[in-house]
Structure 1
Amino acid sequence: MTSPSRRARSVLTRPWVGPLEALTAVFLVVSLPRYLTPNPALSRSVPPADFPPYYPLLVTHIFFGAFALVLQLWPRLRHRHPAVHRGAGRVYAVAVLVASPCVLAIAPFGSWGPSEWVSVAMLGMQWPATTIAGYRTARLRRLAEHREWMIRSVALSFSIVADRFWGMLCVAVFAPDVPDAAALPGMPGHREFAQAMSISVWLSWTVNLLFAEWWILRTRSRKPTCSGSAHRGESAAVGTR
């Protein structure tokens, strides 16, 4: 059990954890219901007529990605319930490895053009790569490296949440006079709207990853490197047995 003083230190050193958990919960409550029906018209994406698997792949990606997010809403599991944390880590890895190929398959059919496609493809490759690296280092008991790879993986997982913020900001900055209807191909202002949204897609994961690298460098020297009880406290997010 985590002591009150330790919980207080955790809040002080990671003040964004609580707000981030709340933001993610709100995002899931608001965004997921529209994908609970088989009607693509309710989604934020326009399925292309020439690729029927697009919408099923999109829904699979969204739900497995959402499941990965839910598993990261309780970071305190690592210290309080190591066995549960390891099990959740295994499920997280499976969710990422299912969701990422789906997004790679639909990337060329996005609505915002080649720049978005490249960004989504890069995200779709880095997300499983960091997760696999996190799994391998956990299995090898290289727990300091495991922690760093999983920070990167989780930062990429949260790109979908960040994209909503960056999307609103980019539209306000780069296409302030463009109506919402411009999101549809062929409508007046669609080009400007697409450019703004393409920028937001890049920002959604690059800023997260830059922050993750900054946090890793800032906290690297604080983490124990010896074996024993210190490693058990930092037990792996992905199965170690």
Structure 2
Amino acid sequence: MAIENKVQLWGFRLGWLMIVFWSIVVFLNVLDYFSFRTDVEFLLWKGNLVQNLTWMASFYVHITSSIICLVTGPFQFVPRLRHRYPKLHRKVGKAYVFTILFLAAPSGLYMAFFANGGFWAQLAFFILAWLWFITTFLALQTAIKRDFVAHRKWMVRSYALVFSAVTLRLYMPLLTYGIGQFGLPTMDPELAVVVTSWINWVPNLLIAELLLRLAPKSL
């Protein structure tokens, strides 16, 4: 039993390192947007929306707040850091919650109405934004009630949705180009947008639920 727990623990540590790695990759990728040019990656898809000041403001609020949560989130799950620096853990946690509830989720909800891919893609991002808000709010609520077991579970779910910023950037090129390298048929970009709008977060939540069942008690 002890060996099984050690294997699980090292598995979670490896997973944590992968999450940190991809979070940093996305962080470096997002820096391009702060040139404030409109000919950068995602913005090239948005057409005349880049002339809409409300949408552009929401876009920059969204990517800035999301990347803060993406990069800081993993460190909140390290037991040693939580126990050694409880005040820092609470401060970072409050910043994470505030950022999502008042910046990232609302801006994501607004941007969902303008998502490429039509109704189904817009619905996917709309649900994502709401679930992001709800899971984070429940994480806050359980922390206030000092139910820290439930709090950690809701934070895992919240961060699984934050991590969609990574999986979105992995699946889109994979579906439109990457799988073709293995002789598999690639998707039309418009269809890939719709498919990616769902698979960038639904599997994340399912994996989070699985991990919550398998996680060692020490996590």
Which of the five TM-score ranges fits, normalised by the shorter chain?
A: 0.7 to 0.9
Taking only aligned residues, the RMSD between alpha carbons, in angstroms, comes to 2.6
**What is the deviation of 1:13?**
4.2
Q: Which amino acid aligns with 2:60?
A: V
Q: Return 5+ residue gaps in structure 2 as ranges.
A: 1-5
CA contact (8 A) 1:47 1:54 kept: no
Partner residue of 2:176?
171
Number of the residue aligned with 2:20: 21
Q: Residue in 2 aligned with 1:205?
A: 201
Separation of aligned partners in 2, 1:152 and 1:137: 13
The Cα of 1:85 is off from its aligned counterpart by: 0.8
* Corresponding position of 1:94: 98
TM-score by length of 2: 0.83
Larger Rg: 1
Provide the aligned length of Structure 1 versus Structure 2. 204
Give the C-alpha shift of residue 177 in structure 1: 6.4
Counterparts of 1:3-82 in structure 2, within 5 Å, are 10-29=9-28, 31-45=29-43, 46-49=45-48, 51-74=52-75, 75-76=77-78, 77-82=81-86
Normalising by structure 1, we get a TM-score of 0.76
Cα distance, 1:177–1:165 mapped onto 2, change above 3 Å: closer
* Distance in 2, Cα, partners of 1:48 & 1:91: 33
Q: How does 1:149-168 map to 2 (within 5 A)?
A: 149-168=154-173
Overall identity of the aligned pairs, in %: 26
User: Separation in 2 of the partners of 1:117 and 1:16?
Assistant: 30
- Give 5+ residue unaligned stretches, structure 1: 1-6, 179-191, 225-233, 235-241
Q: Partners of 1:204 and 1:80 in 2: how far apart?
A: 34
C-alpha deviation, 1:197, in angstroms: 1.8
The equivalent of 2:214 in structure 1 is 218
3-state SS in 1 of match to 2:93: helix
- Structure 2 residue identity aligned to 1:22: F
Moved over 6 A (4+): none
C-alpha separation between the residues in 1 aligned to 2:89 and 2:202? 27
Aligned counterparts of 1:53 and 1:194: Cα–Cα separation in 2? 25
For residue 3 of structure 2, what is the aligned residue in structure 1? none
Q: Secondary structure at the match of 1:40?
A: coil
Q: How far, CA to CA, are the matches of 2:185 and 2:33 in structure 1?
A: 28
Could you say which structure has the greater relative contact order, defined with CA pairs below 8 angstroms and 6 or more residues apart?
Answer: 1
**Residue 58 of structure 1 contacts residue 102 of structure 1 at CA under 8 Å; is this kept in 2?**
yes
Shift in Å, 1:52? 3.7
